[in-house]
Amino acid sequence: MAKGMREIKRQIKSVQNTRQITKAMEMVAAAKLRRAQEKAEAARPYSEKLKEVVESIATGTRGIKHPMLESRPVKKTAYLVITSDRGLAGGYNSNILRLVTATIAERHKSNDEFTLFIIGRKGRDYFTRRGYPIAETVTELSDTPAFADIKSIAHKAVEGFELSQFDELYVCYNRFVNALTQIPEVDQLLPMVKPEAASTAQAASYEYEPSPESVLEVLLPRYAETLIYGALLNGKASELGAKMTAMGAATKNASKMINDLTLTYNRARQAAITQEITEIVAGANAQV
């Protein structure tokens, strides 16, 4: 019985140590989540202004054309998948990887019909094990990544579409709703849907030098890369929210386990005391 009680005490101590770790990880994730949300908010004005200018050119200039605005027969598709480098984030990675795998299985019959651009070690390892074609990967990003960290992969993805290496580009990420909810999405990035003409009252007036076509030629690839960066920031916020939720749940489960083990220990201790008292009384009666 004493040996069993020692094992229970050792287990209680082990779970208490685990609870300290998960609680600390929950607090760290909560602090990082706030910074990630602030970074995403700070990047939004630039993205919105760039979108406004692009839409102004695309809708306000007659006969303007650009490969990134025009659909063509789809022979090959590219997917840019955003995952994390580490686990302990609940279903953050498994949800988006499951959705991408199902989308590929539904749309394509062979590996020649698609290629992948992967951000995050989890996604890279997952698709490498399954033999999927991977064009480019980026790993070991910080929790508050800069655009320079993914500029190379974003540029290659956009340039690949412009050079007709593939005919569609989708960005796959977890859209952040709140710390409890992250929605996996597969959104078409290229070709861009040409916006409808804005109303005269809402449209801003711009002058372009040397020409609207030349400005659009520069802005459209940059805008597409900005959208990829925005999806990455959204994904990072989702990752940290999922991690905070997962660690919070782990802390609660550890507390419940400690309570159950403490109850078991107290019962075992009470049983041991009762047994000792019974043996003492029995020994006293035997001497009478």
Q: Which domains does the chain have, with CATH numbers?
A: 28-245 (3.40.1380.10)
If pLDDT is split at 50, 70 and 90, which confidence band does 288 have? low
Longest dimension (CA), the chain: 116
Across the range 222-231, mean pLDDT stands at 90
Q: Tell me the two tokens of residue 244.
A: 């905070």
Question: How far is Cα 250 from Cα 282, in angstroms, rounded to an integer?
Answer: 47
Is residue 268 exposed (0-12), middle (13-18) or buried (19+ Cβ within 10 Å)? middle
Please state whether beta strands 134-138 and 114-119 pair in parallel, antiparallel, or not at all (unpaired).
parallel
Across the range 180-202, mean pLDDT stands at 74
Question: How far is Cα 240 from Cα 268, in angstroms, rounded to an integer?
Answer: 41
If pLDDT is split at 50, 70 and 90, which confidence band does 200 have? very low
Q: What pLDDT was estimated at residue 99?
A: 96
Percent of the chain residues past pLDDT 70, beyond the cut: 91
The predicted-structure confidence for 20-63, as pLDDT tens digits, reads as follows 999 999 999 999 999 988 888 888 888 888 877 777 777 766 66
Identify whether the C-beta of residue 195 lies closer than 8 Å to the C-beta of residue 57.
Answer: no
pTM for this model (two decimals):
0.83
Give, as one character, the DSSP assignment of residue 171. E
Across the range 10-26, mean pLDDT stands at 94
Tally Cβ neighbours within 10 Å of residue 77.
Answer: 19
Which H or E element spans position 139? none
DSSP codes of every residue in 122-145: HHHHHHHHTT--EEEEE----SS-
Q: Tell me the two tokens of residue 73.
A: 């027969």
Question: How far is Cα 67 from Cα 69, in angstroms, rounded to an integer?
Answer: 5
Higher pLDDT, 204 or 168: 168
Please state whether beta strands 114-119 and 77-82 pair in parallel, antiparallel, or not at all (unpaired).
parallel
Across the range 146-152, mean pLDDT stands at 92
Q: What pLDDT was estimated at residue 201?
A: 42
Is residue 113 exposed (0-12), middle (13-18) or buried (19+ Cβ within 10 Å)? middle
The predicted-structure confidence for 71-129, as pLDDT tens digits, reads as follows 889 999 999 999 999 888 889 999 999 999 999 999 999 999 999 999 999 999 999 99
Across the range 201-223, mean pLDDT stands at 74
Q: What pLDDT was estimated at residue 273?
A: 82
Task: Tell me the CA distances in angstroms from 186 to 48, 79, 85, 98, one per residue in order.
Answer: 21, 9, 20, 11
If pLDDT is split at 50, 70 and 90, which confidence band does 3 have? low
Identify whether the C-beta of residue 77 lies closer than 8 Å to the C-beta of residue 114.
Answer: yes
Strand partners, 116: 79, 134
Identify whether the C-beta of residue 49 lies closer than 8 Å to the C-beta of residue 141.
Answer: no
